[in-house]
Structure 1
Amino acid sequence: MKTRRITLETHLHKIAEYDETVKNLESVFNIQKQKVIRYIGSVVTSFPTYSTHDAVHSMNIISAIEKILGQKTIKKMSGIDTFLILMCAYMHDTGMLYSDEEVKQLWETEGFQDFLTSARKREDEVGRAARKIDKAEKGEGCSVLEVRRSVAVILMEYFRPRHGQRIKHVTDARTSEFGSLLSIDDSFLPDRIIHNIYRISMAHNWSFEDILKEMPLADSFGVEEFHPRMVAYLIRMGDLCDMDNNRFNGVGIKVFGNLGEENLAHYFKHKSVETLHISSDGIVVVANVCYDMIQRECEENWLKHMEKAERDSALKNIFQNTVKEHINWKSWLEQEVTAGKMHSMELFPEKKFISVPELKYKILIDGEESESTHKNLKFLFSSEKAFKLIEDISIYQNNKLIFVRELIQNALDATKMQLYRTLSAYGFQFNEKTSPFDVERAYPNIFEEHAIMIHTDYSRETGKVYFSIRDKGIGISMDEFKRNILTTGRSWPERKEYQDEIKRMPEWLRPTGAFGIGLHTVFSVTDSLTIRTKSDSENKANEMTLYSGKKGGYAFCKKTNQTLQRGSEFSFSFLLTEELKEWVTGSNGGKLFLENVNDGIQKEIKKIMETWCVTPMVSIYADQDYGIPAFSQSTWYNELSRTEKENQLIDQSVESERYHFAFTDDYRSIMVWDREKDCALSFGMESMEGNNVCYKGIRLTERMESGKCSDSLYLNQMDVLDGAGNDWVDAARMKLSLAARRKLESVVEEATAFAKRIYVFMLDEFYQDNDIRNLTNDIDAMANRIYQKKEISLKEIWTEGCELKKKYWGVPEWWNHKMLTRKILPYFLIVKMLDKSIKLWDPESGMEEVQHIFCLADQLIKRWKMDWNGMHGESFQQSYFDQQMRTLLWHFLQIAGIGFSYVAFEKVNFDDNEKNTLFEYKNLITQKSFQFYQKAFPFCSQWKFTKDMYQCVEESAISGLIRWRPEFRNRVPDFIRWKYCLPNSALDKVFVEWRAEHCFSNVKPLEIFLRFSGIPEIVLDIPGENCPIGEKEKKVWRKFCTESYLNWKLFYRIRPLSEVAKDMLNKETIVLRRPFTTYISELFPVFHRMSLVSMDERRMEFSIHNSNTHGVQIDSQTKKRIFKEFWKEVERSHDPKGYVAMIGMEEYPMLGIENAEEQYHAQIGMLAKYPEIPLWDYGAGIKAFMDQFIGCPIDEKSQEIIDRIINSEGGKAVIHYIAVYRKKTGDDVKEEKIETQYREFLKDLIYCWADGRCTFG
């Protein structure tokens, strides 16, 4: 006879037959079971799109538990354990019930409104529902049916994760409308048993650790023991095992309307189960996720209302999410089984002999096993690198599309790996000196052939942006995907399969670093990312989908029959929220509906590319019509790729072991490649604002200045292509590390010195060129004729200018003489002639001596203006032309004003009444300036654009008074600086931009003569910090001094300037006299980089030297005044952290600390470097300390003051600091000796303070 199967219910009933207590428990269960069966079915009305949570679900849980326990174990179960299993199986989902009244109260709470606000930002069905509700509440038109459905979706999302903790609330008559219907009969049960029922039911939502922590292993009821942990664990296992095909309620779905994509994944998860066998030995699950089955059912039912493109996208998501749900379910079962085995002694009483079954869970995709299903493929985040990223990730918050930068960086790394393989296959031989420019010259299109493509598209229908980036890199094999991509933060050198290859690569071509950390920025806007990729190591392409941490960090991967070229494409979509939409389009006064959102997105993508991806190794294109050129073709470094420009001065070449260089066509910029450091630097004669440092093509939030050895060259761009990312930048790849910055400062300093020297070499070749020499001689000869021949006409000069043009530049047949741009060269030559003729003028001979030259300048401007008016199709606009004429006139008027200042000075009788004298001088200048302008510049004085410029003469002349009478320096507006007069001619000031683009010659030096306007800046920068001065530098300097206004007789009458200019390069120590230092330091900026070595107020002079010193040589009078100025500054100190500096003096050689930075020194009137004596306290602290000694006899108190300072915490610290500094600089002096000298310094300083404040013994 067949043995009847024992169930938990029959087992409870059998025990109840002979145990009165258990009989009462059975009665409670039967009543509660009927209540739950009757009412739990209503859950389908609240959760119509979820799998069923009704009585059948409870029965399935009980059935699964019975199979896990087995017949023998069931027979050994106590009555109370059996009762608890049955009760909790029926009770565990009662928390899913909610009433209308509860929803009404909930809706207005702050917590629920926060939930709605957060939900609106989501891209899934919940997000769409939340946005529809928001529109409906604002009255923006949304159908009633859509609102009804949306409310249901929102409530399901809100209550589902909270249903476990709601069980007690729902079944308590005091707190819930359902309480009277579902409350547990407590006429027999103690409160603690009911409390255990609640907690066990709730535990199906707890973590396993919480079960062990919050529940006891055993408790007792009557004569029996019960085991809350065991019961809770069995309920959890039974719940997970209820995964058969019939879990969804078809009627409920039809009433609601349809299933969304997220719910369909759960639906097909259950539909795809082919085997579900549960026993005490094992649990076997086989699921076959078949795309054809999902497609067929969706097209016939769930998605039949969709357009094909939308349906295909939805099908892909449903298919992948179904696999994902199986993997999640498998993972949960694995975790539960593993935990049960590891903690069996903490879950089950020994006498029960319960064993946790083995789990075999197989997931098939279209009938076959897949890599995606072997393991739970998820992102594994390298914690060490994660922490670094978290520290820096806040920088991302200001840019909502920062993922563009990160995806480009990843694409560049993969592409660089492939570039190396391609070049190696071509037979290109790499060595330690190979540069990107060598590769560009050998294979001109190679970087373009590996270009990266970005595409964006916005859909108004879905409100989503579709983004993709495609590279031609090495691709991603399935093995690499698992080893390297899923473990984010693993750098390229850490990947064993690439280590040998990367070691052979030049530093500049090696990939940046970690893959995947930046990839997580994608998940700031989307929940999933698809990668389509083809690697040479595999025959088929792969398709991978990564999900964000919010979606479990799941990774789906499969082989695809789609034909793909080698490389990878990353694609995803993200919801364009109103906030993002406004950000990318601009507010437009609230008229966002007028903006083209797709254009706005593309514009923002391009903006990010321009901001961050400055010099990528390969070209990058966005939507086909926009691109960023490759590193070797970028405007910053492209000249280095031109063979004819590399290492070329003008016609000569200069070789360097360490550097390669190339000038731009206008010679105002120089590009340098540091072969030793794998760095590229671009210097220019104009400074550009903003961050200028890139690491392997990606801009950092860093700015570096050019080296201290130059004031004329500005570092406008720098690319570091050396080393691994971790050696240079932070985890977010936004900033340099402190050590890296210090290293780069040295690299920049050395490169600046090199670039500066190359400029000097270029000028040396320029000055020695035969054409330039001959042209200069011809211009000089014509200048002499102009100066000597007062009646010479502009026509005669014009003819000479045209002859010079023909002689040196030739006249091509195609040259259109009627075009102003073709006639402009004679104008340039005439400007040069007029400038040189003025330099022959001795101001002592009076203004009449050169008035005809200024008249010729006026006629020249008039003719130039008439020529422009008669031309059409010119390459410059009238406004630009007019401004150039104004600049040209301004130059000549400045020169006239300087001469005027001398002439007027001779006519004014300066007496002791400064006010009257200055007034007399200014009146004379104002009167004469206007008369001179009217007479010498008849055209310009009437032309509306220049008629007011007579004031330039006046201002220049008044300012010139300072040079003759220093006592007026604080009373005369300083409208000009002498440096305005230093350029070779006005030619250096006019049409600079135009000449750089339009002036060419077959003879390079002649081209430089026309195009290069930076000679003065370069020459005046020759004497510089850490820049040795050789014969070339001296030759260029002397030549310039001869050619420029420095050689003008008027300037040579000013002694300080003439002495300095004449022998500057032949002296180590330069003596300057006040008050001319302000002008001299502006003429020769090198001075403020030199060190102050002596000061002598009695002689009104000081000396500077090209090397540092421990102390400045100061006479006693100057020393006393410095000390007094120090105490005045201390007296004014109120800031507790305000430091008052003290200049280092030769009298105290041990105490001076060299200062690397130049500082302004009021007494000498310029910036300079000088040592400082460190002090024991801030200014306010010194003042407070010394105030207590006011009125005391200083002879008695001075020693006490000194002792207290020396023995104070600050005194000890400063002595130790000086000793450490001395040791670092190779001067190991004992602290005792330093203290002795510091005492001498304090004694002198305190005696100066005592004068007027204390009595002297």
Structure 2
Amino acid sequence: MADFLIKHLKKKAEEHSALEMLVNQWGFDEKLIPKALQTVGNLFPHYSRHDESHSKQILINIERLLGEDNIARLTAADTWLLLEAAYWHDIGMVVPHKDIQDAFSQTDFQHYVDEIRNNPHHGLHRFCLSFKLNNMSQCFGGADTPLEAVDKFRELMAEWFRRQHASRAGKIVEDPWTSAGISSPRTELIPTRLFKLLGHICKMHGLPFKDLLAPMSLLFREDGLMMGDNCHPRFVACLLRLGDLLDLDDNRFCPVMQLIAGENRPPLSKAHEDKHAGIRHLRIDPERIEITAECTTIDGYLEAFKWFDWLKQEMQDQMSHWQDIVPKREFGSLPTLGHIEVRLSGNQQLLNEGQRPQFSLDGKQATKLLSESLYSDAFPCIRELLQNAVDATLLKLWLLNQKKYPADSNIWKNPFTDEVQDILKTGDVTALLEETEPDADTPSGKSRWKLTITDQGTGISRDDLGYMLRIGSSQANAPRQQKINTMPEWMKPSGAFGIGFQSVFLLSDKVKLITKSVFTNETLDVIMHSPLGEKEGLVEFKLLDNDITMSFGTTVEVVIFLERLPKSYKYNRYDEYSIKSQIISSFDPVLDDTLPLEAADLAEKIREFATNSLVWVCRDMNAIYKPMKPMKPIGLLCDFNDNSDKYSKITRQKSFYIVKEHQLELVADLNLSGVFSSSFAGSETLYRGQPFEQKCLNDLPIASIKINLLSGKAGKWLTANRERLSDSAVKEFRDIVLAALEQLAAEYINQIKEESKPAYSFFLERMAMQYEHNWIELAKKLDRDWLKLNAPNPVTTDKISFEYLFGKENWTMCNLPLPDLQILLPPISGDFQIDDSYGAYTKEIIIKEWMKTAGNTIQIIESKEYENSDLTLIYQFAKKPQPLYSPKALAIKLISVDRRKNNRFVLNDLDNRWETLYLKENSKINAFYLFGIPSNKNIVLLPFLFYRRLNMQSPAQITATPSQLEALCQWIQPYLEKSSATLEEIRTAYNELIRYIDYDIMKPSPHWEAWKKDRMIDAH
């Protein structure tokens, strides 16, 4: 207990009755505040003690620092402030239920959660990813158990209130009853001024030292309650800060609270536990402070080292300003900081004192390696500059219009409405690419080009500039992120990628910027040098005089050296509208000494960027056509700055969808005129207007599709260079595209003309067969309309509808081999013919629809050219019983199965010779129906493993080795309809089936030699 300070206060009160109120107030608070501090453990069980024991230890530390002589020199007011501040300073960690509720609605709290979401190394990162208070079904999805959810939520709120606890303490001191339910007396007997002063002192214990000496902060001296008894707020605040820092001893953590927090306490808490437990020597007196700690973990060591550094810095700051802090010279100076040491126990070693031993990257090498590996050409670097300009413009447009149209206004739900387009037209970006006179730095054989990109966006402040200089740090720019977070999702910047702005140094050693910030009104003239150049990343900038005539925004200038006259080049001779094509068409090999094809490629990329940008990008590329010396005029085939040309984005009609919280533009050509075509989607995929590669949509049965994804950060969807869909995003991307396509398809059903319904019905059937789920219900809305289509038949021009065929008692469909093999075969008769060129699932849709009717059957037989090794299969549709396949058709199918991967197959409609091997109905086995016609009876899993064919020359093995067969017999037993079958009976049946297929089916066929080779029968 702080007996010396309390006795001194009472002694002062005995000397003058006016001071008795201070003793009385302290008497109340000494009893009331500890009761409130007992609740700190409710939200902070994983923290060190912040209860009365901590307050007492601070006072003891202050007594040690002062010594008895200096305690006697304290005024009553200073003594009272020290006692009260030690008890009140952590009262901000007392958090009433209402304060937690209020936090949820605070914008700063949402920014705090976003900050954690953007930091994948934070212990609460996973929890915060799903922590959305407007969606309780997902709110705690980042925890695996209810107990973990409670712990993580408590840690989240504890960290939020820890950050504010010093300022909260200041407010609670002024009004303890309303703020925290503490009935500490507040009467006119002690001036409110002193309580405000006490609150300010408490607030100072959590702020930087410079704030303590700020002009509007704590003063050197204040009047107390009587003449001659002044108080010294700075002095009290400094002693509180030191006393708090020096509460280091090994009893700081409470074992009971550690058990309540559990073994899954945050790593930082455990590091602090090790820090305190490691204290081996502690000396605090008026002459000297000495501390020695020995930690058992590296994290504990680092926290102790950091803590001791804070102590050293605090002592240094106070000593350098001591004359502005200490009440009288008689107090002397602060204690000398003696031996302060922290070490690791046992044999653990460190490379550098106070530094975590870990891998790190050299800045220059990191920039070089990243740039070389991420960027395949120059355009991604230019794209970064263009995207920065567009993002800044969108942010400014949002800030200018958010009051008129708040975020929840319907206007922002679709970026392609007339209202939004009118807003977007008011902001533009200009890109100018022009050749300039060569200078001394121009390499031989190169021409000098200047790219200028100008926007009228938000501009760049000094603080923004600091974030730009660090790779990938744009997310840490909290003030800017706070504004961005209020934007509609489709309008938000796409996020940092690659090495960000610094990628421009792959093109040039120097970049110039002129910028005026809309937030600070600063105008900066900036020159940035490459980190890989001789100036090693130097950034020079000047603050220019404020010019009210200058618009807000940024102008970026980059000088690029490009090939003057390339020795060879490639171009598409059929693309007459491209810039490169026009330049080549106008080139005179005698009179012209330049052929700016690299510049043309760059200009073409800029034009492509502009095509899909939400903000209008003006492209002045005419300079490419204006060489330095006079020459014949070049006639342009199109005006690249004309808003009405084929590249204009304003006049295009868009379909905008919101799928699973994701927003995207979708344009699809369902190709209803070529419904039986096998050509899959020619897809164009973009992220916020810029193209990327993907291969997950290539099997869509539509002519073309364009997707422009307008939500999420780039890192969620794309590789670091934004050129390709990341592997981790493939499934989610495919799912949302299919969901958007479902929405488009559902809308189209209600608009489709009668004559288009059959083709559209067939499209829906293909989608239902391929993707199931909601497509099945959509297909039912036009159920059987596709039967009105004419069956494809290249042999005859007669038009026969499926509806007509389905009405006949029997009819045939010829399944031809690959189209390029058909020219070797004579014509085959049949009601219609089909091959793979008629599109995926065409045959399956026909078969499925036919088999829906009871009594309908299908038999698969061989063609008349069977003996000539013809692989054609003929499907005989009939309204009477018939076997599923002929033996010869079975031979064809076995020799011609898909060999692109290892497969097993089931064969249905086998006779009762194989009843021992019949599978139970609805058995789930990873094997395909050999003939592609599902059935639930008389099904047998074939004993053969069909290996994939590496190439057309390599053998494709078909094996059923003894070891494979033994494993198969044991595995299949639980799936058999005949549950009583023994392993021996199963083995015998399979051996007989192998013999039957090899010698009764395949040997008599023209495919025996191929089968024998694949089965390696000669080797038996």
Higher share of residues assigned helix: 1
What's the TM-score bracket when you normalise by the shorter of the two chains? 0.3 to 0.5
Q: What TM-score do you get using the length of structure 2 for normalisation?
A: 0.38
* Bigger Rg, structure 1 or 2: 1
